Amino acid sequence: MGNTTETTNQIKVKWRCPSNIAIVKYWGKKGIQIPCNSSLSLTLSNSYTEVEATLHEKTTLESVELNYYFEGELNEKFGKRVADYLADNIEVFPYLRMGAVTIHSSNSFPHSAGIASSASAFGAIALAMLDIAYQLEEKELDDDFYRRASEMARLGSGSACRSIFPSYALWGQNDAIEDASDDYAVEVTQIHPIFKDMRDAILIIEDEPKKVSSTIGHSLMNDHPFAAQRFTQANKRTAELVDILAEGDVDSFIHICESEALTLHAMMMTSTDYYLLVKPGTITAIEKIMQFRLENMVPVCFTLDAGPNVHILYPDKYQEAVEDFINDELKDIYKKVIFDHEGQGPQKLSI
């Protein structure tokens, strides 16, 4: 194999996996990482994690022996989460019974950027670890490999399963969409040209760690007073968005995208243990984006993940107009801006 280093008992692989931004949000889960509603996201390009995984001889009696390095330094906290994940899925990675793994992970975006990194990290980890399993079984990296990698990524972090596919990916069972599954994501392939190479400018409003983790946020949906309506709404919107993407209906895209962002945060604000993640800068940016759209007839909109940072989405052909607006009118609001765009999915790298 051209891009794999193999000695008698050592296999080394390297994968790059991008992050993604949800248009319809996954918020609420049950059982073993089963989403309470379907979601649909845009896969990014410049925001990614690279993982180099090496299988080698064990030096301890640990059931799973993992050395996890992040940006060159041993990271015991995240390493423990990854080791637990590997132990829970040992039947998929049976080589861990006999061998140890060293993972070197790094992100393209600054650590303090406030970008959710678990999607790209677990995407890359799942791809690398499954690639090793496939090599040992002498199997091809075919469509089934990516489907299984998506399933394994989901078990690490729900949103990670969507990062395995290019452009637009959908995750979660949906009565209106035949091949949708709770287990893995699928690519949404019917995309109108206006939504191709969609741009995402990520405004970093705040770069401190979140007060409330996504894990806690998801759990607050368990006894949320509006949970049932929310899950029904998200499923309906996911199905609508599939048609909107195929038809090129930009106005409906904007409507769903912005309402989803506000609904996600409304869920946080209305849960029994309520909390707030938006900051004054988030609100100012949102208002300016809406005003700019209205005054200039430019189809640009915002979305949010579980934090204060603002993602600005716009079709490729409006790149110049929107970037001028961001640089001129939003510059006092953000600490940093990362210009990203639709990506082609994960990549196996040579070592």
User: Which residues here bind ligand DP6, judged by CB under 6 A?
Assistant: 22, 25-27, 39, 116, 118, 157-159, 214-215, 218, 264, 305-306
Q: How far is the CB of 126 from ligand DP6 (least distance, A)?
A: 13
Q: Counting every residue, how long is the chain? A: 351
304: helix, strand or coil: strand
Q: How far is the CB of 218 from ligand DP6 (least distance, A)?
A: 5
Q: How far is the CB of 289 from ligand DP6 (least distance, A)?
A: 19
Q: Which residue is nearest to ligand DP6 (CB)?
A: 158
Number of separate helices (H) and strands (E) present in the chain: 8, 15
Nearer Cβ to ligand DP6, position 233 or 319?
A: 233
Chain-centre distance for alpha carbon 276: 22
- Side-chain half-sphere CA neighbours of 304 within 13 A: 27
Nearer Cβ to ligand DP6, position 199 or 218?
A: 218
- Residues 6 or more apart from 350 whose CB is under 8 A from it? 2, 3, 14
Q: How far is the CB of 41 from ligand DP6 (least distance, A)?
A: 6
Q: How far is the CB of 286 from ligand DP6 (least distance, A)?
A: 16
How many Å apart are CA 88 and CA 153, to the nearest integer? 13
Nearer Cβ to ligand DP6, position 22 or 86?
A: 22
Nearer Cβ to ligand DP6, position 116 or 201?
A: 116
Q: How far is the CB of 73 from ligand DP6 (least distance, A)?
A: 23
Nearer Cβ to ligand DP6, position 13 or 169?
A: 169
Chain-centre distance for alpha carbon 325: 27
Chain-centre distance for alpha carbon 85: 18
Q: How far is the CB of 291 from ligand DP6 (least distance, A)?
A: 25
Nearer Cβ to ligand DP6, position 77 or 140?
A: 77
How many Å apart are CA 308 and CA 34, to the nearest integer? 26
How many Å apart are CA 232 and CA 210, to the nearest integer? 28
Report yes or no: 221 and 36 within 8 Å, Cβ to Cβ: yes
DSSP alpha helices (H): ranges in the chain?
Answer: 76-88, 118-136, 143-156, 214-219, 227-247, 250-269, 280-296, 319-329
Nearer Cβ to ligand DP6, position 22 or 101?
A: 22
How many Å apart are CA 335 and CA 320, to the nearest integer? 21
Q: Rounded to a whole number, what is the distance in angstroms from the first to the last CA of the chain?
A: 12
Neighbours of 128 (CB within 10 A): 26
Q: How far is the CB of 2 from ligand DP6 (least distance, A)?
A: 33
In single-letter form, the type of residue at position 205 comes to I
Nearer Cβ to ligand DP6, position 54 or 271?
A: 271
How many Å apart are CA 275 and CA 264, to the nearest integer? 12
Q: How far is the CB of 94 from ligand DP6 (least distance, A)?
A: 25
Scored b (16 or more CB within 10 A) or e, 23-60 reads: bbbbbbbeeebebbbbbbbbbbbebbbbbbbbbbeeee
Nearer Cβ to ligand DP6, position 116 or 149?
A: 116
Nearer Cβ to ligand DP6, position 177 or 306?
A: 306
Q: How far is the CB of 298 from ligand DP6 (least distance, A)?
A: 26
